[in-house]
């Protein structure tokens, strides 16, 4: 499949004569993307450049959107004017307005533009090179050792002939995580968002990160991308359809945007499982592979509403039938008689008034009509789905740059699990959707405030209720890696409810202050409080963690799970 995708896309690229200039994709960063999306919400209608339901976005489309809002009236406060300049500088090659050059470039060659350590741009080649750095240290209550992160690397982006865009990112990291993150890693065998790791000074982890992609236009309205990265579906803090929680994976993507419709197709190769050595560390051996196909049709209905319909299939063996970009996967699965895991559902957003948005998702794993609506069939383990409901309020009570987001997520027990090997909705032993997997309810509240142009404040509060397993041989439906065929719970087909098993409740609050010294150079100060109570704990488990750091061209750490 890998060779087929690459050869097919390269042939389309080199023989296609309609390729036009376009840009690489901007890495998904919740803080960065919020700055973009808040202006669409303030306008009260869908932007015409791209659909926000599938992330990340292309830089050329961001440039066109930033141009469109420059004189739209939504940019009013000092902080908004600063944000517009910041985002425009970051995508300056696609901005029609003049963006400033640095007043004092280093050696006349470095940082000639505020966003680039080095850039070269002529009719053939466009190159932007930047350092990547994250140095942070913190203390955790009742833990003697310093928590730390040390990441160094480089990122490179650009284009060739204004037709082929590229992006690459490489870092090496040594990190000692807060205790609840360490517990998650030891249980799952993977660093969230990174996957493979090696021991670092006993309780720490060392890992190498690499992401990259090549993208190009097949026609005026059809765009292709081959990459090793993550994707995200929806408008929420979480995604019940496809999120960025697992590590990067190989994928090919075709995006077709015509009129009010946007069809996105993704074909990916994932890691099915991980082999461990005797110390609980991943080995260097070859891991089993599995295959993933996904398509989403987004539709703008009027100017305020967008609805996306999606379908996905997880295969333990590659099947050519799923390469069809417009076929109904469930029909194919029925015709082939395969045990492939099919999921389908929808997401939606409604900018119902300027400054406010409602959004949501519904992901269906399995559904039996008679058991869902029948009196005797309620709480059937065969009715598996996840849902999300959210609300965004921009400039709360007309306070400039004070933004509120409220979100509710839940997943029924056994959602995203499967009864056949390697077909769970996971990648490298981590969920492809929510960090908790399934069998949970969650409420999230986020308050973002920008009191001064360079100062960003973010408070995230989370409440989680979920059921866990008492042992490896029992499956109450939370762990997506477990086989749902023999749960060994004693409950049976009916009577399965969210929170079954060992009940857990987590209350978590995280306050982050970030100050931008220069373009994409941030000083961070974070304090996190986490309290977990459970039926198998004699006393609440309380974690308090405070961290300070500096980061350059990197996404801020969030340990909100």
Confidence category of residue 205, pLDDT binned at 50, 70, 90:
very high
480 contacts 426 by C-beta, under 8 angstroms: yes
Report DSSP state, residue 273. -
Tokens read off for 83: 């944000």
CA atoms within 13 A on the CB side of 137: 3
φ, ψ for residue 350 (rounded to 5)? Answer: -140, 110
User: What's the predicted TM-score (pTM) here?
Assistant: 0.93
| Sequence-separated (6 or more) residues with CB below 8 Å from residue 350 | 304, 305, 306, 357, 358, 359
Dump pLDDT digits (tens) for 40-95: 999 999 999 999 999 999 999 999 999 999 888 888 899 999 999 999 999 999 99
Dump pLDDT digits (tens) for 403-435: 999 999 999 999 999 887 788 899 988 999 999
Distance CA 155, CA 389 (A): 35
Dump pLDDT digits (tens) for 477-529: 999 988 888 888 888 888 899 999 999 999 999 999 999 999 999 999 999 99
Quickly count: other Cβ atoms within 10 Å of residue 281's Cβ.
15
Is the confidence at residue 334, as pLDDT, over 70? no
Q: Are strands 541-552 and 430-431 parallel, antiparallel or unpaired?
A: unpaired
Residue among 198, 306, 184, 298 at smallest CA distance from 245: 184
Tokens read off for 518: 């220069």
Architecture of domain 20-100+115-552: Beta Barrel (2.40)
Q: Where are the domains of the chain?
A: 20-100+115-552
Q: Which DSSP helix (H) or strand (E) runs through 186? A: helix 179-188
Distance CA 165, CA 215 (A): 5
**76-80, 341-345, 528-532: least confidently modelled range:** 341-345
Is the confidence at residue 19, as pLDDT, over 50? no
């Amino acid at each position: 499949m890998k060779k087929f995708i690459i050869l097919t896309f390269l042939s389309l690229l080199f023989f296609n004569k309609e390729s036009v200039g376009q840009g690489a994709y901007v890495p998904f960063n919740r803080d960065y993307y919020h700055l973009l999306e808040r202006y669409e919400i303030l306008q009260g209608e869908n932007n015409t450049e791209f659909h926000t339901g599938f992330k990340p976005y292309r830089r050329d489309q961001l440039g066109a959107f930033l141009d469109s809002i420059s004189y739209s009236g939504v940019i009013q406060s000092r902080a908004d004017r600063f944000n517009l300049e910041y985002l425009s500088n970051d995508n300056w090659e696609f901005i029609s307005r003049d963006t400033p050059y640095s007043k004092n470039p280093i050696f006349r060659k470095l940082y000639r533009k505020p966003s680039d350590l080095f850039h070269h741009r002529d009719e053939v080649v466009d190159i932007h090179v930047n350092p990547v750095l994250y140095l942070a240290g913190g203390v955790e209550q009742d833990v003697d050792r310093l928590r730390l992160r040390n990441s160094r690397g480089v990122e490179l982006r650009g284009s060739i002939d204004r037709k082929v865009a590229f992006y690459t990112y490489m870092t090496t990291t040594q990190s000692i995580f807060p205790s609840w993150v360490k517990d998650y890693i030891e249980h799952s065998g993977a660093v969230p968002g990174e996957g493979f790791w090696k021991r670092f000074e006993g309780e720490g982890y060392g890992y190498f990160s690499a992401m990259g992609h090549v993208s190009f236009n097949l026609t005026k309205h059809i765009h292709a991308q081959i990459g090793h990265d993550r994707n995200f579906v929806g408008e929420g803090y979480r995604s019940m359809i496809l999120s960025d929680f697992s590590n990067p994976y190989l994928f090919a993507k075709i995006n077709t945007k015509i009129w009010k419709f946007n069809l996105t197709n993704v074909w990916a190769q994932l890691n099915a499982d991980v082999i461990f050595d005797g110390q609980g560390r991943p080995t260097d051996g070859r891991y089993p592979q599995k295959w993933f196909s996904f398509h989403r049709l987004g539709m703008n209905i009027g100017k305020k509403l967008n609805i996306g319909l999606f379908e996905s299939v997880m295969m333990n063996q590659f099947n050519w039938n799923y390469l069809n970009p417009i076929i109904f996967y469930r029909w194919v699965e029925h015709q082939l008689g395969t045990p492939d895991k099919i999921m389908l559902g929808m997401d939606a957003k409604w900018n119902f008034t300027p400054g406010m948005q409602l959004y949501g998702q519904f992901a269906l794993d399995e559904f039996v009509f008679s058991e869902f609506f029948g009196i005797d069939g309620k709480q059937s383990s065969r009715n598996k789905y996840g849902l999300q409901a959210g609300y965004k309020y921009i400039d709360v009570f007309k306070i400039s740059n004070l933004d509120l987001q409220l979100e509710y997520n839940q997943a029924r027990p056994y959602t995203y699990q499967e009864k056949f090997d390697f077909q769970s909705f996971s990648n490298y032993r981590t969920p492809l959707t929510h960090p908790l997997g399934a069998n949970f309810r969650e409420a999230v509240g986020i308050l973002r405030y920008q009191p001064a142009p360079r100062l960003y404040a973010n408070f995230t509060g989370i409440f989680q209720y979920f059921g866990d397993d008492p042992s490896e041989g029992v499956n109450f439906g939370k762990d997506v890696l477990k086989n749902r065929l023999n749960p060994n719970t004693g409950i049976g087909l009916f009577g399965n409810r969210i929170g079954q098993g060992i009940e857990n409740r987590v209350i978590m609050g995280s306050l982050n202050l970030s100050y931008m010294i220069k373009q994409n150079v941030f000083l961070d100060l974070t304090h996190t409080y986490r309290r977990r109570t459970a039926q198998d704990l004699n006393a609440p488990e309380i974690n308090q963690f405070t961290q300070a750091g500096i980061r350059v061209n990197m996404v801020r750490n969030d340990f909100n799970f």
